[in-house]
Structure 1
Amino acid sequence: MSMIERIRNRRDANRRARAIEHALRSANSPAVRNELLAIAQRHVS
């Protein structure tokens, strides 16, 4: 993997993490929060 790919992957991961955190903060019910966490775990693994 090239240096550029590593930087790009890290940037994408950071962007995804920020989006997930934002969605979790704005989620107004535990069911929505649980669904977001399930989606996030699918992306991480």
Structure 2
Amino acid sequence: MSMIERIRTRRDANRRARAIEHALRSANSPAVREEILVIAQRHVG
């Protein structure tokens, strides 16, 4: 893997993590938070 690919992969992961954190903060119920975490885990794993 080239250095550019590593940087791009890391940047995408950071962007995804920020999006997940934003969604969790704006979720208005525990059920919605659980659903976001399940979806996030599915994409990471």
Query: Could you list the runs of 4 or more consecutive aligned residues of structure 1 that deviate by over 2 angstroms after TM superposition?
Result: none
Q: Percent identity?
A: 89
Q: Secondary structure at the match of 1:36?
A: helix
1:41 paired with 2:44, answer no
Give the TM-score normalised by structure 1: 0.94
Give the TM-score normalised by structure 2: 0.94
CA-CA distance at 1:9 after TM superposition: 0.3
Superposition RMSD in Å: 0.5
- Counterparts in 2 of 1:22-33, with a 5 A limit? 22-33=22-33
Q: Which 5+ residue runs of structure 1 have no aligned equivalent?
A: none
Which whole-Å deviations, capped at 9, do the CAs of 1:1-45 have from their partners, x for residues lacking one?
Answer: 111010000000000000000000000011110000001101111
- Counterparts in 2 of 1:11-30, with a 5 A limit? 11-30=11-30
Letter of the 2:22 counterpart: H
